[in-house]
Amino acid sequence: MKFTRRDVIKTTAGVAAGAMLPALHGGRKALAQDLTYKPEDGASLRVLRWSPFVKGDEEQWLANTKKFTETMGVDVRVDKESWEDIRPKAAVAANVGSGPDIMLVWFDDPHQYPDKLLDVTELAGYLGNKYGGWYDGPRGYATRNDKFVALPLTTIGNAIVYRDSWVKEAGWSTFPTKTDDFLELCKALQKTGHPVGFTHGHGVGDGNNYAHWLLWSHGGKMVDESGKVVINSPETQKAIEYAMELYKTFIPGTEGWLDVNNNRAFLAGELSVIANGISAYYTAKNDPKLAEIAKDIRTTNLPIGPVGQSVELYQVSSAVIFNYTKFPNAAREYLRFMFEKEQMDPWITNSAGYCCQPLKAYASNPVWTADPNNAPYAKASETLRPNGYAGPLGYASAAVMADYVLVDMFAEAVTGQQTPQAAMERAEARANRYYRV
């Protein structure tokens, strides 16, 4: 969608507002406490974001973008791509030096091409100082050698989404909080004709979230603190064995699922339990045909495994500006505008619990207490564990995730394509191609 000057009613008030902008030096305002960037003459921007799972997210993003155009007179075209297509399109744009000015990318993708991205350290410092600081997890994805090469935009939380009446029918008055009990519940649900289903396919969000939870909850990890690949371990073996038992209770076909498939199956009444963002509940709550399902939906955090603590990946998206842009000041100003309270708070609110804030000041947004089902997603940015754990984020961690090494390891084992040992060895070999230490 594109917003142009033709969309804007040019009033004398608008001219006056422009005249009130402070004097700028070097493309930015001198006082950091009120930072602004002056867009280049004739500037226009193209923004590429991921397709929404929550309608309110996109609607408010576009409304905020239109407001930016009305305020600054900069044309902005907002395009969208499927979740799976964002990563390869960003990599191509970085490598060929052509494409969108700004993209919303996943996880540690900025670490794959940091030299192709505009330094936004000044802007990040301004926003962090003004809005209570950045959460460490999202900050790590956006920084390279202590410089911000991206701005953390949001963490899309992941939680158990389940049908309360079916869980009770299976003999459980409350949802289990431990992995052993959770397995027994899944077996009971299968017997009552209400199987569960978790994504073993190349789902950027759900597939990665599930695989990392399986591994970390049993004490496994891809690499150690030095970046040495240690996926071939007794802890990983236990995680795979647990996944194999859990898989027996699944609806068929989950090894081919992308992010959208579990939503569809759950809302069609084919599943009793999934791991998902708030989007499945949001869709049911806003569709009169799904009203009865919505009343029966509950959410909770994923069960705790043998490690004895909650260990979740969660999906982080950051905004990057490619350094080939012809309008760096306009791009920085667009992001500054979108992160300010007047725009960010309504976006978080209208995302209805789907998009968790990366800046601490926005944790007070009332959306997190507006509905009990939103609560498990409220601290996603605060509690996430980065995908490169326990080693440093960088090209290798980003590439291993982009290649779905961990997701494939579990899928190959649970479907019987590989023995657990062979699946670990194959994952080890694939990861070592990227971690050359």
Whole-model pTM over 0.85: yes
Write down the number of H helices and E strands in the chain.
Answer: 19, 12
Q: Are the C-beta atoms of residues 357 and 381 closer than 8 Å to each other?
A: yes
Q: How far apart are the C-alpha atoms of 166 and 309, rounded to whole Å? A: 27
Q: Looking at 266-332, which runs of residues are DSSP E strands?
A: 273-276, 297-300, 315-321
Q: How far apart are the C-alpha atoms of 223 and 232, rounded to whole Å? A: 10
Q: What is the pLDDT of residues 339-350, one digit of tens each?
A: 999 999 999 999
The predicted pLDDT at position 34 comes to: 85
The residue among 341 and 23 whose pLDDT is bigger is: 341
> What are the structural domains of the chain?
2-156+315-377 (3.40.190.10), 159-312+403-432 (3.40.190.10)
The predicted pLDDT at position 27 comes to: 45
Is residue 24 pLDDT above 80, yes or no?
A: no
Q: What is the pLDDT of residues 349-400, one digit of tens each?
A: 999 999 999 999 999 999 999 999 999 999 999 999 999 999 999 999 999 9
Phi, psi of 80 (to 5 degrees): -140, 150
| Residue (of 244, 258, 299, 293) closest to 277 by Cα position | 299
Secondary element (H or E) of residue 155: strand 151-156
Q: What is the pLDDT of residues 272-319, one digit of tens each?
A: 999 999 999 999 999 999 999 999 999 999 999 999 999 999 999 999
Q: What is the average pLDDT across 118-145?
A: 98
Structure tokens at 85: 């297509």
> In the structure, what pLDDT confidence band is assigned to residue 436 with cuts at 50, 70 and 90?
confident
| Residue (of 40, 436, 426, 24) closest to 240 by Cα position | 426
